Structure 1
Amino acid sequence: MSLLSNILLVGLLSLGQSTIVQPEQIAKTVFLNDTIFVAYNSSTTKCRIDCADAETMLQQDFRSFQKVWMFNKTEMFSADDKTFIDSNRSLEFQVLNEDDTGAYQCCIRSTDLAYQSFVCYSTLLTVVDEMPGDGMNETATTEAPPSPSWNVVIEDGEILNAQPENNYFLKIFEDNVTAIHCLVNEVEINIKTSNSFTPPLYNDVLIQSFNLTDHSGIYVCNGTLQIGNETSIETVTFTVSQSWDDNKNADLLDSKVVAEALKTAFTVFSFFFISLFILLQVFRF
């Protein structure tokens, strides 16, 4: 945190711990599922709290909503060990300890109408030293909510603004092409193309769990277009860059739909290669 940010935080704390959103500004409070999480200093599976329920966050204009995060309604909390993800839609803890236990509220409202009331979503987080014993395991978790997934239409020459760990299902060709092959910075990388996910997921290219090292750069993708007896090759070039800017022609996907699609694809993929391995062993002998 910068020196200016620290000064502002100290100044806000000195104002008697007043609430950011006044009670009379809140039209409704929605209580989300309680979360129990194991404390950590570093973890690949980080605790993450979503701003609202899944249906609300799937609204097309949700990213443009004003979002105000609060801790125990009245406390300003330091963001030194926390990361606000994707236009403040989620709060992720880089370090988690028992002092982080409490009620986290994300209050939202549209910026289109002046003086509109907030709707607040409250999540009770309980941080423990170790996984609870029998009787509490049903509600305990060590898994963070899945990262956001997006359907995005990319036209030739455009830029995909990608955030770490997000999934991007891309439609890059106007026509239904087959045998899509992509080079990234003139090198082949492990990305999934010509997929067969069911609607609404786009199938041309899947960038799964985006990371800067593996997925950013200039993409040149060729696809085979078959019209009658004629075959042609279409080429689309676009850039993928790590950025928090919005993408045009992008729709947030339901996490359950994405999880089921990826699970099914992985199962089919695994079955194919296991069957191929068995056949090779048979013919070998």
Structure 2
Amino acid sequence: MIYLFALLAIGIYSPALSTIVQPDQIAKTVFLNDTTFVAYNESTTKCRIECADAETMLQQDFRAYQKVWMYNNTEMFSAIDKTFMDANRSIEYETVWRTYQILNFRFQVLNVEDSGAYQCCIRSTDLAYQSFVCYSTFLIVLDEMPEDGVNATAMPATTEAPPSPSWNVVIENGDTLNAQAENNYFLKIFEDNVTAIHCLVNEVEVNIKTSNSFPPPLYNDILIQSFNLTDHSGLYVCNGTLQIGNETTIESVSFTVSQSWNDNKNADLLDAKVVAEALKSAFTVFSAFFTPLFILLAVFGA
């Protein structure tokens, strides 16, 4: 016990305590895009490094794979300035026992010294002695952006962090949604195609989007975008209008949203490009609808 807390106290982190993947254990190395960032301290734009490419991370059994993170092939990880995301706490006792679930991490403070090759090596635990496949991301950290920009042979400096993970989740009456900060959740809460969904959270109105018209495969009942503990957690009571012929009924579902690192049942990780396009399209339509309305209100309200 003392040894475990000593590891955490000095900020040394390795996803299997002292596990380093040996070269003869690696079947293949996949090189992901280089990432260039300008150094920062507590910036609002975080640098996040993913464990693998999007297609691999969308595989149904990906979360069950063993995952070992390395820096420059052999060095131990320093966890002082990093937050391990998606299925784990940051720097806590539980981290030692749940490292196999880590999908990515994010720098809180990014220094030039953080430059280097970051590898996430994964393998299925179904077969003994199975080799690892390693995904390598080379991070370049600059003191400041050169006046002429990054040279033509290098990747352009990143101005935005990679998008936060987005999930499709089926919620049944009485369920709990386990949510992590900044993630997006597209929820299906009604079995039928209801309209005019209205929700209260802890008996008050909150900023969530309901009755959306996103294209498949995105769920449309509720969108919790960029989850944060203050605005989105609590008891949800949602009513939806169901129209069958000339008969109208109201269906009601209640569930809880909690900040938690536990996995959700009936949840699927969504492709980031699909989500980005859907949100962009939806907000374009939203803006086009409300701009004339705003003008009308300005004219007739004067």
- Common fold by TM > 0.5: yes
Shift of 1:280: 3.3
- 8 Å CA contact retained: 2:19, 2:68: no
Deviation at 1:133, TM superposition (A): 4.0
Question: Which position in structure 2 is the counterpart of 1:86?
Answer: 86
User: Which of 263, 275, 284 is 2:280 aligned to?
Assistant: 263
Matched, 1:112 2:126: yes
**Residues 120, 134 of structure 2: 8 Å contact kept:** yes
Selected match of 1:151 from 168, 175, 190? 168
Determine the structure 2 residue equivalent to 1:103: 117
Deviations 1:192-241 (A, max 9, x none): 00000010000000000000111000000000000000000000000000
TM-score normalised to structure 1 length: 0.93
Distance 1:267 1:114 in 2: 51
Higher deviation after alignment, 143-152 or 133-142? 133-142
The 3-state SS of whatever aligns with 2:41 is coil
Q: TM-score, normalized by length of structure 2?
A: 0.88
Deviations 1:160-187 (A, max 9, x none): 0000000000000000000000000011
Return the offset for 1:264.
1.1
Deviations along 1:90-149, whole A, 9 cap, x unmatched? 111011101101100000011222211100000110111111343627521131110000
Matches within 5 A, 1:154-165: 154-165=171-182
CA 1:140–1:217: 2 relative to 1, 3 Å: same
Deviates more, 1:189-198 or 1:272-281: 272-281
Offset of residue 281 of structure 1: 4.2
RMSD: 2.1
Aligned partner letter, 1:27: A
Q: Structure 1: how far apart are the matches of 2:286 and 2:8? A: 52
Residue matched to 2:92: none
Name the % identity: 80
Distance 1:246 1:284, change over 3 A: closer
d(CA) in 2 for partners of 1:211, 1:281: 34
The corresponding residue for 2:66 is 66
Give the letter for the 2:107 counterpart.
F
Give CA deviations for 1:25-75 in whole Å, capped at 9, x if unaligned: 100000000011111111111111111011101111111111100000010
Q: How many Å apart are 1:19 and its aligned residue? A: 7.0
Gaps spanning 5+ residues in structure 1: where? Answer: none
Does the 8 Å contact 1:225/1:232 carry over to 2? Answer: yes
Deviations 1:78-100 (A, max 9, x none): 11111111131111101110110
State the aligned residue count.
Answer: 280
Preserved CA contact (<8 Å) 1:47 1:142:
no
